[in-house]
Amino acid sequence: MADRTPTVASGARTTVAGIVSTRLKVDMSDLYEWESEGAALYTTLSLLGKERAINKTVSWHTRELRPKFMRINNGAGYTDASTTFTVDTPMGNYVQPGFLIQVTRTGETMLTTTGGSATSVVVAARSWGTTTAAALVDNDEILIIGPAYAQSPSLESAMSVTGVQDSNYIHTMRHNWDMSALLKELSENGGTYNGSDAEQERKNMLATHKRDWNLAFLFSEGATSGGTATMTGFKPFIATNATGNVNSATTLTEPVFEAGNEVWFRGAGAEKRILVCARKFHAIANQFPSAVQRTTPGATKYGLRLTDYTSAHGDIKLVREVALEGDEYAKYAIGFDPAKVKIKHVRDGRMLKDRQGVSEDGYEEEIVSDMSLVLGHPEGMYMWTDIAA
């Protein structure tokens, strides 16, 4: 029989001497995730409500009242005796015979005798009223006050603004998790820390699904090819359809913020808006001394970090959006009218079990959603793109 030569430690038995390391139990606490879902916009839109879609393309119409401004288009301008004016196309169509118009720079009003031409306007005489006639210059702004009828005339032709159709594609997302049958059984027998590994993977799948939809709502560009379609999110929709509502200011002060709000609140009429903003933007706005109102310090609602801002132009609810981060998007804030935006869906977070192959010794689940956005009138939206301080 061979001699026995076990390891013998001298002195006190400790955690590093005199005991084999595998005899020591691991002190294992809960599983902590580094990244939150970061889906403030998704949560906000879900709270506003969803509607079922019945087609692969969802559409909506927008319209506005007849424009009330036109501009002179003549490099040489016009004298104080001129009665025929060339205007930017198609602005001449905005007036008819008998319309009262006013040069905003000089205050002179005139009464039209013809209308309906896209490029020209004719007036009966200069200076209708007490303000004297004055020369006009190129690009002078002309306010269209409206019709002025004489007694017992016939009606002029009716005027109607043609609406615009906007559309978006239904976008399908699928997320899944897959596990060998052996690992699943071992885990359910207590072989993994923090409970069932299948439950952890299911939770992670659901969080990722929500996070990725949130990113699509913010940034996805709409396109279709073959059987694949992607939706248009907030950022490309505003950048394409409301270029005047994209603000590239780099320093956010309260006067700068209010100047942007003046433009934002002009369109679509609602007095209550939502602004999802990067953490830096949210932190700067919280330092505005006069108009920020916190319901309670550090208030949250529905899991969202909210701040109410009372603007001179309307009420804004600032929602901190973790998804707005990185080299570029950390400078962003995106605003919209909650009464005009909604989610359209076909399958809304449908869980499908037993997705593994017929002969596979394992288990797979997936979650699938088909969704898109109705985004309303682009003038009811606003986007800050470069806030750094």
The CATH architecture to which 69-147 belongs is Beta Barrel (2.40)
What is the pLDDT tens value at each position of the chain, 389 positions in all? 788 877 777 777 776 777 777 777 667 666 655 555 568 888 888 888 889 999 999 999 998 899 999 999 999 999 999 999 999 999 999 999 999 999 999 999 999 998 768 999 999 999 999 999 999 999 999 999 999 999 999 998 899 899 899 999 999 999 999 999 999 999 999 998 888 999 999 999 999 999 999 999 999 999 999 999 999 999 999 999 999 999 999 999 999 999 999 999 987 667 899 999 999 999 998 888 665 655 444 455 556 777 888 888 999 999 999 999 999 999 999 999 998 999 999 999 999 999 999 899 999 999 999 999 999 999 999 999 999 99
* Total-model pTM: 0.84
Domain boundaries of the chain, sorted by first residue: 40-60+166-384, 69-147
Q: How far apart are CA 277 and CA 218, in angstroms?
A: 11
Q: What kind of fold does domain 40-60+166-384 have according to CATH? A: phage-related protein like fold (3.90.1690)
Name the residue among 214, 321, 337, 212 with its Cα closest to residue 271. Answer: 337
Return d(Cα 169, Cα 174) in angstroms, integer. 16
Instruction: Give whole-number Cα distances, 9 to 2, 299, 346, in Å.
Output: 21, 58, 69
Determine if the peptide bond prior to 90 is cis (ω within 30°).
Answer: yes
Greatest CA span in the chain, whole angstroms? Answer: 131
Q: What does the pLDDT read at residue 28?
A: 66
Q: What is the pLDDT of residue 6?
A: 77
CA atoms within 13 A on the CB side of 165: 5
Contact partners, residue 42, CB within 8 Å, separation at least 6: 210, 213, 214, 217
